[in-house]
Amino acid sequence: MAKKQKFAKESAVTMTEMVLPNDTNTLNNLMGGRLMHWMDIVSAIAAQKHSNRVVVTASVDNISFRKPIKLGNVVSLKAQVTRAFSSSMEVFIEVTAEDIPANKRYTCNSAFFTFVAVDQSGRPIDVPEVVPETEEEKEHYAGALRRRQLRLVLAKRMKPAEATELKALFENLEPLKED
Ligand SMILES: CC(C)(COP(=O)(O)OP(=O)(O)OC[C@H]1O[C@@H](n2cnc3c(N)ncnc32)[C@H](O)[C@@H]1OP(=O)(O)O)[C@@H](O)C(=O)NCCC(=O)NCCS
């Protein structure tokens, strides 16, 4: 039977938070752990919207904090499923912060989280396929297989020799030009 399909945009979620004193470190900047908590929540909601299932966080890709987010800033977290495999879904999260009185908005970071849909006994269960529509969605969809292979190799769930998409990436790299 053909798998159910859903548009990537159907899973889109935006969550908005204000940085309050209890969210900050001693420099009055948002704590990294609090931001990761919000990222986990917004991306879990996106994965739930795609799968209509209970989901669990399976892995989190590299997160770097490019700019501090100040006390009083308003943080927007946008999440959307990029691609689904059998039971797992990759979610892209983009974080921006806004100093509303100063009329300044800046992009803080982005990351990919992976969620697995589970049944009532906690066993992985199949999810619909993702249909990307925009250029950005198509780009994220295409790169998702490579990123999945990288995270499965790092988690020792896939042999490096089986990571064909990943290998192809390195084989197709142009050699550096000498001056
Ligand atoms: C995630 C979990 C459900 C996977 O269960 P499992 O018995 O290993 O199941 P499988 O081997 O069949 O893998 C199921 C899916 O998870 C994916 N997966 C498992 N580990 C992964 C990892 N580290 N990174 C990315 N995907 C992963 C597999 O690729 C597979 O995806 P697919 O069905 O789309 O091909 C299980 O490990 C779990 O419940 N982990 C705890 C989750 C949790 O509590 N998260 C909150 C942290 S406090």
Pocket of ligand 1 (CB under 6 A): 56-59, 85-88, 114, 116, 118, 124, 151-152, 155, 157
Atom of ligand 1 nearest to the CA of 58: 1
Q: Which atom, in ligand 1's list, is nearest to the CA of 57?
A: 45
pLDDT band at residue 179 under the 50/70/90 scheme:
low
Instruction: Give the pLDDT score at 178.
Output: 67
State phi, psi for 96 to the nearest 5 degrees: -125, 155
Helix locations, 18-160, DSSP H: 32-51, 135-154
pTM of the predicted model as reported, rounded to 2 decimal places? 0.94
pLDDT in tens, 154-174: 999 999 999 998 888 777 767
Token pair recorded at residue 100:
């509303």
Please, which residues have CB within 8 angstroms of residue 154's CB and are 6 or more apart in sequence? none
Query: 112 C-alpha vs ligand 1 centroid, how far in Å?
Result: 15
Q: Residues 6 or more apart from 163 whose CB is under 8 A from it?
A: 149, 150, 152, 153
Mean pLDDT of the chain: 94
pLDDT attached to residue 17 = 98
Q: Which atom of ligand 1 is nearest to the CA of 114?
A: 25
On whether the CB atoms of residues 41 and 164 are closer than 8 A, the answer is no
Q: How far apart are CA 81 and CA 8, in angstroms?
A: 6
